């Protein structure tokens, strides 16, 4: 039996996207209408989540709604991931409006619609319990992202970003699919849970290990773990700013949704566990080291945030490695903290760059004199990313690293803490420009009412999660418990 | 002046008498949480109040907090000892976190230090700095962080409150500072975050190696429950020791501190050098020693060497400084050496000396930075070679600086004398009565460092305040106004109170340090 509530979020998003295309076709001048439609569509999708049976994920239902023979199931974890993805999409949309105006992008309806399609792919990925569904969702997400990255047709950097992303993305998808095909061949099923049982029952073989390595490599591309991170700085720098914001958060969250499900449900066989945990531990360490060190000399904000996001992926993987409700709960909490901090920073960047046209760090000089509120959100966001209290990133890192130490990854936690201290250096470069330097051009930067409200919301979340992490951490843990 | 006194005394009285009295019921408000939250309220109030009222709002809450600090100090029952007024709220059980506050003989005097420096700092920055709302809000936030760290009984909250200090201090130096302020602010933040990374890893290691799902300081300090192996202790003690050492400006991790103090605005230097640094010594006594006694015995001789190097090296560097604020900054680094040396004696008298030195050097460093701020305010320079004969122009300023010199040199009557005397006595006993043999050698070197300290302070006094009048600018020279004297008097009176009648203070710190010595088990 098909329960529509299992994919009503996606229906909402796709219906809104189609409606926006219709508006764009027949009423191309109605920019405001398209913007509000897109926002309402995402909000509507967000409101469907509590109705998905899991009651906001706080109480996990005995029988979460499922569809297509259980290929899609909205359990507590899926609800949490979908909530994050939709919030991220909402914030990226808000960041894009002014930017689209300032770049005089002509096909606004297409941009918004593709963004929503992409978000629909991400949300359905969060609920996928089966490899093909998961793969198709992932491709919906990434192919839309290629288009978004190359959306500024006249801009060389944007085209380069789109092409690079397409080539490497296709390559990694092929690796992933190759790995999936071996897994299917070994187990005869594509349902992740059954695959896990079947792998537990059979003796280990070299082909299993090869399959796991392929899947690890394929997904490491998607969440930009070193050494599969080469595309990230170029794509982040070249893509339009709101798209960079979207990629850095939503695509990463979706990648972790896939990782958590595939590895902790499908590949827990005792012969495989050390293979992928070992691989991920090395990749996480490399990401922390390379991401943080390469970020140090950067002068372009988007490129710097690209390297920063590589490092952040490294921290996040420690939660994945730790596993259990504690580890995955920490991962979820940190994703939430990362979402608000990163998108807060990008939203500020969108407002600033639509006024100044610059994306270098020095373009933020004296931001506090031009608009103190923007400077405050920027500072809070960057300090949260660096993991300083009283911001959310501190509590998040505490949970992540304590979960890692509890499972014996002390060296990884040590590395994470030390490189967090390193990361403060490059985050401080931006803060220093924004708060301490004198502006070259003292004219004020006006943020719109919607942007101010959303920025205020981000700031509140960053501070509140930091001071009082308990409720959201408990929610994250109960969501994580649907995996184990 | 009268309005300042009113705005100070009324809330002070409120904090002292009304609050927590029977009139409001036995437990109307949790005492310690209120104490910790008052600066937070002040930060919010000064942020939302009109700009010209920001300082008044901050002064109001600072005075109330001072009243509460005195109240806690008076109500603390030394005879009982242990943690009192404890407050505990359940937190994340799965992660072993809970919000718990408590005060013991070690932290009760430190609360007075925090509040006194806070109050004095507000008055020291009375002549509105630019953007007063943000200035006072950040200053209050810093105080809240320090107060929270001294009260926390849970490592998570200890760390959170401690780190809460870094961001406001960074902004205070970077925005309102002077000289190479951006450089100093960045260096400060990077050093302290680097140090706190070590502290964080050390805390997590304690938590997980103990096998008890708790971050409670009381539980982790109980060896019967934790049972850390000697190898574990030997590995992790230096990690925590260096982490807290960065905060204490222990050589070779001290280079952030003179730059930060010299560049920061006066009040921020007072708070940072007076209070924040003390937190490092407090962390050693509160967390590192109780949890890792074997590691401490193994490593403390090395830390004693560093402590004596601190005194000697920082004093020698201070001798060469041309900038008065750098002289005071290096002097404060040198004085932290006494504190660490006291801890390194692992002996009751030395410990009490270290605890008193925390309060004493906090009060006196804040006092000295306050005076330097006033000299700079009056003369427009901090280069002592450009100054001379100021006491002829401003006898009150000269008199106060004379007292400052006497206190820093460690003359009897001041808290520094008591504290340093006890530290030396402890070092002597430890060295010659079966403790760390290395103290036999270090002890005379440490005494020499005191003499160097006397040299640079006396030379400063002689050059700036005596001899023919010299100053870079002409024009009338106004002596200190009563509003400027007031905060200095408070710090001085507290220092004299400890110096002239140390018994209640020593008894109080001993009530928690004697059990600690028993716990550490003396020398093997």
| Residue-by-residue pLDDT tens, chain B, 524 positions | 788 888 888 788 777 776 655 544 555 678 888 899 999 999 999 888 888 888 999 999 999 999 999 988 988 888 888 888 888 877 665 667 788 899 999 999 999 999 999 999 999 998 867 888 889 999 999 999 999 999 999 888 899 898 888 889 998 998 898 888 889 998 999 899 889 888 988 888 888 888 777 788 888 877 767 778 888 889 999 999 999 999 999 988 889 999 999 899 999 999 999 899 899 999 999 999 988 888 888 899 899 999 999 999 999 999 999 999 999 999 999 999 999 999 998 888 999 999 999 999 999 999 999 999 999 888 888 888 888 888 888 899 999 999 999 998 888 999 999 999 999 999 988 888 877 888 888 888 888 888 888 899 999 999 899 988 888 877 788 888 888 899 999 999 999 999 999 999 999 999 988 888 888 876 54
Is the Cβ–Cβ distance between B416 and B364 less than 8 Å? yes
Of A402, A421, A474, the CB nearest to B204: A402
DSSP for A263-297 reads IIIIS--TTTHHHHHHHHHHHHHHHHHHHHHHHTT
Cis status, amide bond into B252, omega within 30 of 0: yes
Q: How far is B51 from chain A (nearest CA, A)?
A: 15
Sign of CA dihedral A8, A12, A13, A15: positive
Q: How far is B327 from chain A (nearest CA, A)?
A: 27
Closest CA to B263 of B169, B192, B196: B169
Of A413, A424, A437, the CB nearest to B189: A424
Chain A residue nearest residue B155, CA to CA: A398
Cβ B95–A470 below 8 Å, yes or no?
no
pLDDT of residue B94: 61
Of A326, A413, A424, the CB nearest to B201: A413
Cβ A425–B201 below 8 Å, yes or no?
no
- Which chain B residues contact residue A475 at CB under 8 A? none
- Which chain B residues contact residue A399 at CB under 8 A? 95
Indicate the angle between helix axes A31-48 and A8-26, nearest 10 degrees. 170
* Cross-strand partners of B88: B100
Q: How far is B173 from chain A (nearest CA, A)?
A: 10
Task: State both tokens at A344.
Answer: 């807060």
pLDDT of residue B208: 82
Strand A72-73 versus strand A66-67 pairing type = antiparallel
Give A383-425 pLDDT, tens digit per residue: 999 998 889 999 999 999 989 988 888 889 889 988 998 898 8
- Which chain A residues contact residue B197 at CB under 8 A? 417-418, 420-421
pLDDT of residue B433: 82
A432 touches chain B (CB under 8 A): yes
Cβ A388–B208 below 8 Å, yes or no?
no
Task: Please give the angle made by the CA atoms of A47, A48 and A54, to the nearest 5 degrees.
Answer: 110
Q: What are φ and ψ of residue A165, in 5° steps?
A: -65, -40
Range in A35-49, A264-278, B345-359, B467-481 with the lowest mean pLDDT:
B467-481
Of B95, B164, B194, the CB nearest to A421: B194
Give A305-335 pLDDT, tens digit per residue: 999 999 999 999 999 999 888 899 999 999 9
Cis status, amide bond into A113, omega within 30 of 0: no
- Which chain A residues contact residue B171 at CB under 8 A? 435
Task: State both tokens at B188.
Answer: 């400060």
Q: What are φ and ψ of residue A267, in 5° steps?
A: -120, 50
Q: Is B30 helix (H, G, I), strand (E, B) or coil?
A: coil
Q: How far is B403 from chain A (nearest CA, A)?
A: 37
The distance of Cα A276 from the centroid of its chain, to the nearest Å, equals 22
Q: How far apart are CA A227 and CA B523, in angstroms?
A: 52
Of A402, A418, A432, the CB nearest to B186: A432
Range in A106-115, A121-130, B15-24, B179-188 with the lowest mean pLDDT:
B15-24
- Which chain A residues contact residue B189 at CB under 8 A? 424, 428
pLDDT of residue B26: 54
- Which chain A residues contact residue B207 at CB under 8 A? 402, 405
Cβ A473–B190 below 8 Å, yes or no?
no
Q: How far apart are CA B407 and CA B405, in angstroms?
A: 5
pLDDT of residue A40: 93
Chain B residue nearest residue A382, CA to CA: B167
Q: Judging by beta carbons within 10 Å of its beta carbon (0-12, 13-18, 19+), is residue A378 exposed, middle or buried?
A: buried
Of A389, A410, A435, the CB nearest to B163: A389
Cβ B94–A477 below 8 Å, yes or no?
yes
Cis status, amide bond into A227, omega within 30 of 0: yes
A453 touches chain B (CB under 8 A): no
Q: How far apart are CA B301 and CA B305, in angstroms?
A: 6
Q: How far is A152 from chain B (nearest CA, A)?
A: 38
Average pLDDT of the residues in A105-126: 92
Residue A59 has pLDDT above 50, yes or no: no
Q: How far is A421 from chain B (nearest CA, A)?
A: 5
pLDDT of residue B246: 93
- Which chain B residues contact residue A421 at CB under 8 A? 190, 193-194, 196-197
Which of B89, B95, B97, B156 best probes binding to A when mutated, by most A CB atoms within 10 angstroms?
A: B95
Domain boundaries, chain B: 2-520
Helix H, strand E, coil C: the string for B312-335 is HHHHHHHHHCCEHHHHHHHHHHHH
The distance of Cα B14 from the centroid of its chain, to the nearest Å, equals 26
A468 touches chain B (CB under 8 A): no
- CB interface of A with B, residues 386-405, below 8 Å: 386, 388-390, 394, 398-399, 401-402, 405
A473 touches chain B (CB under 8 A): yes
Cβ B94–A424 below 8 Å, yes or no?
no
Q: How far apart are CA B249 and CA B281, in angstroms?
A: 10
A435 touches chain B (CB under 8 A): yes
Is 0.95 exceeded by the ipTM? no
The stretches of B155-292 forming alpha helices (DSSP H) are 155-164, 166-176, 181-210, 217-220, 223-226, 230-247, 256-263, 266-271, 278-283, 289-291
Closest CA to B200 of B170, B231, B160: B160
Chain A residue nearest residue B158, CA to CA: A389
Closest CA to A37 of A97, A77, A118, A81: A97
Q: How far apart are CA A69 and CA A190, in angstroms?
A: 12
Q: What number of CA atoms fall less than 13 Å from residue A448's CA on the CB side?
A: 14
Residue A62 has pLDDT above 60, yes or no: no
Q: How far apart are CA A40 and CA A43, in angstroms?
A: 5
Q: How far apart are CA A348 and CA B355, in angstroms?
A: 47
Task: Identify the contact set of chain B against chain A, taking CB-CB distances under 8 A.
Answer: 91-92, 94-95, 156, 159-161, 163-164, 166-167, 170-171, 174-175, 181-182, 185-186, 189-190, 193-194, 196-197, 200-201, 204-205, 207-208
Task: Look at the pTM and tell me if it is higher than 0.80.
Answer: yes
Of B182, B196, B207, the CB nearest to A436: B182
Chain length of chain A = 484
- Which chain A residues contact residue B196 at CB under 8 A? 421
Q: How far is A482 from chain B (nearest CA, A)?
A: 17
- Chain pair A-B, CB pairs under 8 angstroms: 78
C-alpha distances in angstroms, B22 versus A207, B26, B30, B35, B70? 76, 6, 14, 18, 18
Which DSSP state fits B470? B
* Cross-strand partners of B318: none
Chain A residue nearest residue B201, CA to CA: A414
Give A337-389 pLDDT, tens digit per residue: 999 999 999 999 999 988 888 889 888 988 888 888 999 999 999 999 999 88
Q: How far apart are CA A67 and CA A5, in angstroms?
A: 9
- Which chain A residues contact residue B186 at CB under 8 A? 425, 428, 432
Helix H, strand E, coil C: the string for A12-47 is HHHHHHHHHHHHHHHCCCCHHHHHHHHHHHHHHHHH
Chain B residue nearest residue A469, CA to CA: B92
Strand B84-89 versus strand A72-73 pairing type = unpaired
Average pLDDT of the residues in A445-460: 91
Q: Is B26 helix (H, G, I), strand (E, B) or coil?
A: coil
């Amino acid at each position: 039996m098909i329960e529509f509530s299992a994919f009503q979020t996606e229906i909402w998003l796709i219906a809104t996207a189609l409606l926006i295309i219709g508006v764009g076709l027949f009423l191309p001048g109605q920019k405001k209408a398209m913007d509000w439609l897109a926002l309402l569509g995402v909000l509507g999708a967000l409101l469907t989540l509590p109705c998905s049976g899991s009651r906001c994920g706080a109480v996990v239902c005995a029988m979460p709604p499922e569809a297509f023979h259980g290929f899609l199931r909205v359990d507590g974890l899926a609800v949490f991931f979908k909530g994050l993805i939709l919030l991220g999409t909402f914030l990226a949309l808000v960041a894009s409006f002014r930017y689209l105006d300032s770049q005089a992008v002509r096909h606004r309806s297409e941009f918004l619609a593709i963004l929503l399609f992409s978000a629909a792919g991400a949300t359905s990925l969060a609920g996928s319990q089966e490899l093909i569904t998961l793969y198709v969702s992932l491709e919906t997400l990434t192919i839309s992202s290629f288009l978004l990255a190359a959306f500024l047709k006249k801009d060389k950097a944007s085209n380069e970003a789109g092409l690079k992303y397409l080539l490497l993305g296709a390559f990694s998808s092929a690796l992933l699919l190759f790995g999936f095909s071996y897994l299917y061949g070994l187990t005869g099923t594509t349902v992740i849970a059954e695959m896990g049982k079947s792998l537990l029952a059979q003796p280990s073989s070299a082909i299993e290990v090869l399959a796991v390595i392929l899947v690890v490599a394929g997904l490491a591309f998607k969440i930009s773990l070193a050494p599969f991170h080469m595309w990230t700085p170029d794509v982040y720098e070249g893509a339009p700013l709101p798209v960079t914001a979207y990629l850095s958060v939503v695509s990463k969250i979706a990648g972790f949704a896939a990782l958590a499900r595939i590895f902790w449900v499908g590949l827990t066989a005792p012969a495989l566990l050390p293979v992928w945990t070992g691989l991920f531990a090395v990749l996480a360490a490399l990401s922390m080291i390379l991401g943080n060190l390469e970020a140090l000399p950067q002068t372009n904000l988007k490129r710097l945030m690209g390297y920063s996001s590589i490092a952040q992926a490294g921290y996040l993987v420690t939660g994945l490695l730790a596993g259990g409700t504690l580890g995955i709960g920490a991962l979820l909490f940190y994703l939430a903290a990362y979402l608000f901090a990163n998108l807060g920073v990008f939203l500020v960047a969108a407002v600033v760059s639509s006024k100044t046209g610059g994306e270098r760090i020095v373009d933020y000089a004296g931001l506090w004199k031009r608009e103190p509120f923007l400077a405050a959100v920027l500072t809070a966001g960057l300090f949260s990313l660096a993991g300083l209290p009283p911001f959310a990133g501190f509590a998040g890192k505490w949970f992540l690293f304590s979960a890692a130490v509890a499972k014996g990854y002390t060296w990884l936690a040590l590395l994470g803490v030390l490189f967090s201290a390193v990361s403060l250096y490059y985050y401080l470069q931006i803060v220093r420009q924004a708060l301490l330097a004198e502006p070259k051009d003292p004219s004020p930067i006006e943020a719109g009412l919607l942007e101010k409200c959303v920025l205020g919301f981000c700031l509140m979340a960053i501070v509140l999660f930091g001071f009082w992490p308990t409720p959201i951490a408990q929610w994250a843990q109960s969501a994580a418990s649907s995996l184990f | 002046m009268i309005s300042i006194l009113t705005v100070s005394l009324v809330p002070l009285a409120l904090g002292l008498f009304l609050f927590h009295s029977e009139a409001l019921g036995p437990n109307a408000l949790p005492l310690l949480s209120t104490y910790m939250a008052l600066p937070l309220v002040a930060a919010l109030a000064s942020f939302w109040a009109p700009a010209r009222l920001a300082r008044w709002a901050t002064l109001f809450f600072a005075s109330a907090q001072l009243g509460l600090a005195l109240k806690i100090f008076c109500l603390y029952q030394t005879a009982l000892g242990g943690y009192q007024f404890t407050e505990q709220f359940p937190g994340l059980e799965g992660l072993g976190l809970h919000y718990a506050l408590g005060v013991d003989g070690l932290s009760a005097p430190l609360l007075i230090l925090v509040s006194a420096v806070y109050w004095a700092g507000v008055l020291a920055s009375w002549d509105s700095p630019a953007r007063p709302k943000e200035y006072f809000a950040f200053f209050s936030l810093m105080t809240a962080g320090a107060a929270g760290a001294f009260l926390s009984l849970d490592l998570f909250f200890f760390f959170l409150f401690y780190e809460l200090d870094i961001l406001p201090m960074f902004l205070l130096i970077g925005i309102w500072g002077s000289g190479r302020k951006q450089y100093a602010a960045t260096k400060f933040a990077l050093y302290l975050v680097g140090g706190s990374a070590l502290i964080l890893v050390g805390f997590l290691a304690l938590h997980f190696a103990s096998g008890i799902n708790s971050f409670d300081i009381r539980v982790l300090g109980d060896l019967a429950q934790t049972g850390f192996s000697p190898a574990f202790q030997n590995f992790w003690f230096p990690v925590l020791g260096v982490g807290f050492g960065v905060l204490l400006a222990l050589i070779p991790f001290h280079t952030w501190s003179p730059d930060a103090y010299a560049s920061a605005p006066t009040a921020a230097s007072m708070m940072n050098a007076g209070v924040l640094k003390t937190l490092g010594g407090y962390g050693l006594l509160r967390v590192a020693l109780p949890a890792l006694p074997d590691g401490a015995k193994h490593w403390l001789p090395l830390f004693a060497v560093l402590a004596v190097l601190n005194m000697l090296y920082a004093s020698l560097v201070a001798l060469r400084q041309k900038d008065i604020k750098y002289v005071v900054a290096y002097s404060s680094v040198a004085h932290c050496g006494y504190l660490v040396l006291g801890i390194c004696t692992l002996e009751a008298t030395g410990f009490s000396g270290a605890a008193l030195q925390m309060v004493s050097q906090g009060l006196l460093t804040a006092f000295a930075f306050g005076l330097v701020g006033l000299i700079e305010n009056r003369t427009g320079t901090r280069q002592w070679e450009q100054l001379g004969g100021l006491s002829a122009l401003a006898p009150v300023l000269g008199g106060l600086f004379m007292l400052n010199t006497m206190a820093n040199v460690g003359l009897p009557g001041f808290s520094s004398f008591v504290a340093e005397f006890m530290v030396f006595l402890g070092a002597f006993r430890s060295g010659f009565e079966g403790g760390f043999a290395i103290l036999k050698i270090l002890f005379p070197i440490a005494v020499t460092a005191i003499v160097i300290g006397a040299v640079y302070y006396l030379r400063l006094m002689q050059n700036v305040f005596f001899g023919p009048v010299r100053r870079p600018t002409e024009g009338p020279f106004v002596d200190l106004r009563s509003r400027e004297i007031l905060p200095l008097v408070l710090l001085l009176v507290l220092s004299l109170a400890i110096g002239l009648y140390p018994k209640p203070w020593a008894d109080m710190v001993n009530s928690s340090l004697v059990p600690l010595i028993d716990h550490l088990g003396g020398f093997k």
